[in-house]
Amino acid sequence: MNAPSNPVTRAEAQTALEAASRAALRAPSVFNTQPWAWRIAGDVMELSTDPQRRLGVTDAEGRLLLLSCGGALHHARMALAAEGWQADVQRLPEEQRPDLLARIRLTGRGAADPVAAGLVAAISRRRTDRRAFGERQVSDETLTLLRRRVEEEGAYLHVVPDDRVPELAVSVDEAADAEFFDPAYRSELTRWTSRPAWTGDGVPPATAVQPGLRRVPMRNFLPDGSPGLLPGADHDEGAAYVILFGTGDRPVDLLRAGEAMSALLLAATAEHIATAPISEAVEVAWPRRLLARLLSGVGEPYLIVRLGYVEDDTALPATPRRAAGEVIHIDE
């Protein structure tokens, strides 16, 4: 770490940390639950889980909770680095406080990080695009760039070969069927797709897509309702399917995986590539084992992401976000 060029005053630190935590409000999360909370005290900011927002059925093991919080942590880190702030980040700093996921302490200020600035610029544009992708393929050069961004965060990216996409589809389809026929899952899904506007969370019908023919199925968020978006005339012909994976499934591994997920999604957005995380196959234990086979048993699968290009240039509606005052707490 470079030595800080200037001392940090308490007021400057608080302003910088508050701005970073506000940038993290836009981080992706499972069912848009936004299951995190920030606390700022002077030059220190802590990230904790919000256990009340954990999906007890869909995410019984809490894996996606940690991925979601890791995404928020990465958003905040990049927002600081883009402004030249240097920070010490401790992950899971206190064993006796398992809900405390990270502690960020500002140590000084130097040159702005141009890579971080590019990722931050993509935050407001990033959307989960559930519409069908067209025939245009993601280039090998772009996939290499995305792989580099993921590896910088301590995880790995596996591009599923075309001849093994049917196996991927089976794992997702089997998991989706298992969940669909579980009344508890259906109840949880309904709860997070029928949120009042004032909550600022959940998956609104306007962002859900009607089911259609796909190489790999997409989650049906409104099986008993009418999604707001048409899938389009394409069928994901040119889509690239990647598996985010790592070497373990400890809480710190999953938190780092969430940081890598954020890096992947923001880097893809910066390259004008549409993205859609697919988590069904990691939500159910045995389809997750099928994913591990696609990795030849060398890694722990964390998430599938569909990458590609949409022919329809209609802007997607933004998903809601919680008010900053509900998520960010400042100790004066």
pLDDT digits (tens, 9 = 90+) for 43-73: 999 999 999 999 999 999 999 999 999 999 9
What CATH superfamily classification does 10-125+319-327 receive?
A: NADH Oxidase (3.40.109.10)
Please choose, from the candidates 132, 130, 70, 127, the residue with its C-alpha nearest in 3D space to the C-alpha of residue 101: 70
Q: Mean pLDDT over residues 236-263, rounded? A: 97
Provide the residue ranges of all domains of the chain, joining segments of one domain with +: 10-125+319-327, 140-308
pLDDT grade for 5, boundaries at 50, 70 and 90: low
What b/e sequence results for 294-317 when a residue is b if at least 16 CB atoms lie within 10 Å of its CB, and e otherwise? beeeebbbbbbbbbbbbebeeebe
> What does pTM read for this prediction?
0.96
Please choose, from the candidates 228, 243, 141, the residue with its C-alpha nearest in 3D space to the C-alpha of residue 193: 228
pLDDT for 167:
96
pLDDT for 161:
97
Residue 249: how many other CB atoms lie within 10 Å: 15
Q: Mean pLDDT over residues 255-261, rounded? A: 98
Q: Over 50: is that where the pLDDT of 21 sits?
A: yes
pLDDT grade for 6, boundaries at 50, 70 and 90: low
The domains spanning 10-125+319-327 and 140-308 adopt the same CATH topology: yes
What's the Cα-to-Cα distance from 52 to each of 86, 136, 251, rounded to whole Å?
32, 42, 18
pLDDT for 1:
43
Q: What percent of the chain has pLDDT above 90?
A: 86
Please choose, from the candidates 240, 317, 276, the residue with its C-alpha nearest in 3D space to the C-alpha of residue 130: 276
Query: How far apart are the C-alpha atoms of 177 and 181, rounded to whole Å?
Result: 6
Fold of domain 140-308: NADH Oxidase (3.40.109)
Helix, strand or coil for residue 317?
coil
